[in-house]
Structure 1
């Protein structure tokens, strides 16, 4: 909700389970900087309605069940001050990952980013390397997966379009490469806020599977393979065999991401030998994908620390 005195800012309503719980102020453009956003809980049972004064200096919220209307003063200067104090460039973003700028995660991200440059030029080449601050957009999904974020094909296309058209209005040109700072921002803005949790994976098994004789939700091996081939962003038979061949060690890790690599092992895999008759969420996560399960502060098991990468 824009206002005449809000400048490059918008009043926003933040929703949870389709119920507006907070009223916030957002400085535009939205780039993921946490200091550009401020929100407060206005009413205990949610916000039933909101209006802005004609001059943009006050906001009015109605609480619905609590039968109250509250007037709020909008102080854009305070939010702008928070942005200034939060630092410039990537400084506000470093705090959004474990360890910050000097932490293990960001160091690994740098390593994967620059390794991607080498990989795209050919790992075994003896030619002089071309040092650059950018990688091609086609490399983006591989680096994302290497650092533990596994976007869907739809999400990948959204990221591609966001980058391609980021300067189109100003220059009329499409972008086909990305530098590390911009890559870092794209990652932060598209990653799942709480990572991949076991509760989310278990929920999928609750829907797709059935309860076996031991009282566990499972998916039969035949149904599991059929789902991969027919539902959602389904795989081809070749893609599925190649992925399982890599997960089970028949292909070297990362082989598919190497431009010069090829596989002859996918057709050799025997699903009856490699996969159990019934697959649980735990088997899928730890035995098939090779991920570990750790506890986070919300007491919800979080899938982390990739052991095997496709």
Structure 2
């Protein structure tokens, strides 16, 4: 029997672009094997990461090494220096590796969840975390029945089945495959030590799962536009667009496709045709049926801009790259 499940997903160094090359720092003695370090480069930076990676943002640091792009990296045999080569600037820079500075940053960054609070807007006392707490504990009420008259069971945990609903409530919409990875990661988190599967999660662990699985560079307009470049055609204005009928067919047949009921429910919520939090009913959204509603609400041609701003209701930042919910 073959088991396929994700072991763990963790947030690595995120400094504006993905890591392009990495090397583990050499050690000079067996004593140094107790703590290892990773040196990496991305588009224009060189950085250092304490291993193992656990998502703690204070365990990594980076500095711009070549503003116009770094082409390669090498380490000295004793692990004291890193060398980076620029592309357009045709230069090689030697960097002295200061492990003590990084260890000091870890100590000053706090323990337990303290470093992770800084990764969410407003930190521990901010609006985002307060809303997360509200959604987390509301999911306990929801799972026990909103209208039940039975005595409620107060707990610090929620069932794993509630995890995707809370994720979506705070603005993260993972694919079904990623949700399955999250489930397996939590289920098997203590299996080696105890031989038992976990079927619930508390708020601190939920926060770590969220931070480690959410897109590290956020949602960008470029990502959506690339999809339209592949799936669409060039319209009369020179923009990539998808016809309304083709757009609906893609949602029903491709990838992790929706059922027709799910699709109608999503559009009814996006267009404000049904009260928030309630399942849409065709009779409540349009007298002539859901198909006519979609013909009315969706334009004949859908571009990346229309999909982003008019359908999803997202706002473009000044740079027109980052999307704001």
Match of 2:35 in 1: 8
Aligned pair in 2 of structure 1 residues 2, 240: CA closer, same or farther (>3 Å)? same
* Residue aligning to 1:212: 235
Cα gap change, 1:49/1:247 in structure 2, threshold over 3 Å: closer, same or farther?
closer
Secondary structure of 2:112's match? coil
Q: Do the aligned residues in 1 keep the contact of 2:75 with 2:82 (CA within 8 Å)?
A: yes
1:223-243 CA-to-partner distances (Å, cap 9, x unmatched) read: 101111222222233332332
Say if 1:214 and 1:78 are closer, same or farther in 2 by CA, change over 3 A. Answer: closer
The match for 2:169 among 146, 152, 157 is 146
Deviations 1:139-169 (A, max 9, x none): 1111111111111122222222222222233
Check whether the contact 1:42–1:61 (CA below 8 A) recurs between aligned residues: no
Paired residue secondary structure (1:175):
coil
User: C-alpha distance in 2, partners of 1:93/1:286?
Assistant: 31
Counterparts in 2 of 1:166 and 1:22: CA distance versus 1, 3 Å = farther
Q: Give the match for residue 292 of structure 1.
A: 314
Partner of 1:132: 155
Matched residue of 2:70: which SS? coil
Does the CA contact (< 8 Å) of 1:62 and 1:69 recur in 2? yes
**Secondary structure of the equivalent of 1:53?**
coil
Aligned-residue Cα RMSD (Å) equals: 2.8
| 1:13 counterpart SS class | strand
Structure 1, unaligned stretches of length 5 or more?
257-261, 306-310
Q: TM-score, normalised by structure 1?
A: 0.81
- Between the aligned partners of 1:135 and 1:176, the Cα distance in structure 2 is 9
Cα deviation code 1:84-132 (max 9, x no counterpart): 1111222212222221111111111111111111111111111111111
- Separation in structure 1 between the aligned mates of residue 182 and residue 151 of structure 2, nearest angstrom: 31
Alignment partner of 2:323 out of 274, 296, 303: 303
DSSP 3-state at the match of 2:39: strand
Are 2:145 and 1:122 equivalent residues in the alignment? yes
- 1:301 to partner: Cα distance: 4.8
- 1:53 corresponds in structure 2 to 77
Establish whether residue 223 from structure 1 lines up as the match of residue 246 from structure 2. yes
What's 1:37 paired with? 60
* Contact map agreement 2:25 2:75 (CA 8 A) in 1: no
Query: Contact 1:31–1:185 at 8 Å: present in 2 too?
Result: no
Deviates more, 1:140-149 or 1:23-32: 23-32
Separation (CA, whole Å) in 1 of partners of 2:174 and 2:275:
22
- CA distance 1:166–1:14, shift in 2 (3 Å): farther
CA distance in 1, matches of 2:254, 2:169: 25
Partner residue in 2 for 1:160: 183
Aligned residues: 290
Task: Give SS of 1:79's match.
Answer: helix
Residue from 167, 170, 173 that aligns with 2:193:
170
SS in 1 for 2:34: coil
Q: Distance in 2 between matches of 1:144 and 1:105?
A: 12
Aligned to 1:269: 290
7-16 vs 177-186, greater mean Cα deviation: 7-16
Does 2:201 correspond to 1:181?
no
* Residues 168, 15 of structure 1: alpha-carbon distance in 2 compared, 3 angstrom cutoff: farther
- Give the equivalent residue in structure 1 for 2:306: 283
What is the match of residue 259 of structure 1? none
TM-superposed CA distance for 1:194, in Å, is 3.7
1:47 and 1:203, CA in 2 relative to 1: closer, same or farther beyond 3 A?
A: closer
